[in-house]
Structure 1
């Protein structure tokens, strides 16, 4: 299949490469020439604009930082809705506001373009390994049409509802992930302050009811204070804003979400934005300094 891929960053780059390995013809666009070169080295082709990228595509995937970038790519004069052909399947795998996904889907339908919101969980490792969890919002027929493509990117692909529903599920995911990082950080501080080896302590926790993917993947690097970004604090801060806005729209109180959002905001205010979200440990340490 001819696939356009717009946004070749930490997540999008390896995802596009996996599509090439799966046998698809992938044309990519990114503002970074270095990222375009990486796609070309993986067997894809580089485009000079969004319009050029999507012109011949049967499917267009976007993986962008936030709602403004998705809206620019979708609605701009050089954008996907202006230059994508009728029948195009647009899969937005960015994490954005649910209302952004609904707006894109409504405008796409007018152009004869099928739109899905399909944000992912699994981080950089999942993008590289093709083991992402993908939560998809949109029409059921379009989801089924997308499954062969999504199958090259993830192992869990679930249709969760109409347009925007994927983004709501992703917001819930980011709430849970942020909360667990905060609790693991507090556990490390408690263990170390009590004279207990945190590595041994977390090994026990990982094998019991407290076990989680976060403990499996990040407990060793957190104990070693290694915060190379797989998913940056800056992006998680943006995601928690989506969580709080979604809660307000739904008319529900999420008190723990407020605490998690404030911890992540504190991390960003302390200059930790470029680090991995496991760097919440630094915030808990500073509270106790």
Structure 2
């Protein structure tokens, strides 16, 4: 069993850290809001008062943070992981950030004797709680092999997709597909409601055909019920779509549908829905049609 420092104990990080603790590892958690360490402590883990304290004796450091600047600060900052962890430590970054930032951080980590994997996840809060996340991993093959036993504790579909930054690139593609599906699902439900169709029956039959998807299975009922408690917040998906559009532009790839849904997600955030589940994109599309959101 290993000593694991887990930094970032939010909606996703907290259940992941608890799973690792329950699997028999010694997990030391750190979060800027100390109260968020409570579930880990209740599971037998330890709360640290700083990043330096959390990583000092760690065999593995895991991070689950909101955005690129947060990861840069926690990993490469003056009081960060690279300054205080032991050389040779395996670092697994579960955050979703810009691929170019990951590549730069991986280079810095290697120069200082560390091993860094980018391992963004998909599956939302439910996937984190059920240890059923899809994990797309970038980095060295040997490091991936070392990390696999830890990844298997928190995920169900775990795939090494290439060198450093590849995990973030695949996650960007994932977020593009999910956002597009959510937008079209919202439009379809509004269309069905406008014609007075039994929407519950309609969703059931649509789910059994080519239109079926994990998005339909998990998000349609939220839209029908107008219930948008966050599993994955609009403000985070808005951030992720910013990564997609920026990376696509740099690669010379045109994403007209992605650009449209990125603008819609931005409008949802600007309208005050940023803290709601990303299925609440339905509200923005409903407002455009002058319908009940």
TM-score grouping bracket, smaller chain normalisation: over 0.9
Name the CA distance, whole Å, in 1 between partners of 2:38 and 2:122.
26
Question: What is the correspondence of 1:201-240 to structure 2 with a 5 Å cutoff?
Answer: 201-240=202-241
Question: What is the correspondence of 1:246-285 to structure 2 with a 5 Å cutoff?
Answer: 246-285=247-286
- Show the counterpart of 1:61: 62
TM-score normalised by structure 2 residue count: 0.98
Name the CA distance, whole Å, in 2 between partners of 1:42 and 1:261.
39
Per-residue deviation, residues 35-62 of structure 1 (Å, max 9, x unmatched): 1122101211000000000000000000
Per-residue deviation, residues 72-109 of structure 1 (Å, max 9, x unmatched): 00111110000111110000000000011111100000
**Moved segments of 4+, more than 2 Å:** none
Per-residue deviation, residues 199-232 of structure 1 (Å, max 9, x unmatched): 1111111111111111112221210000000000
Name the CA distance, whole Å, in 2 between partners of 1:15 and 1:40.
13
- Show the counterpart of 2:51: 50
Deviation at 1:21, TM superposition (A): 1.1
Q: Is contact 1:199-1:219 (8 Å) kept? A: no
Per-residue deviation, residues 139-160 of structure 1 (Å, max 9, x unmatched): 1000010000000010111111
Q: Is contact 1:5-1:61 (8 Å) kept? A: yes
Q: Is contact 1:50-1:73 (8 Å) kept? A: yes
- Match of 2:272, SS state, is coil
Name the stretch that deviates more: 35-44 or 106-115: 35-44
Name the CA distance, whole Å, in 2 between partners of 1:22 and 1:209.
38
Question: What is the correspondence of 1:1-289 to structure 2 with a 5 Å cutoff?
Answer: 1-289=2-290
TM-score normalised by structure 1 residue count: 0.99
Deviation at 1:237, TM superposition (A): 0.4
- RMSD, matched Cα: 0.7
Q: Is contact 1:244-1:257 (8 Å) kept? A: yes
Q: Is contact 1:131-1:155 (8 Å) kept? A: yes
Name the CA distance, whole Å, in 2 between partners of 1:249 and 1:23.
44
Name the CA distance, whole Å, in 1 between partners of 2:216 and 2:23.
31
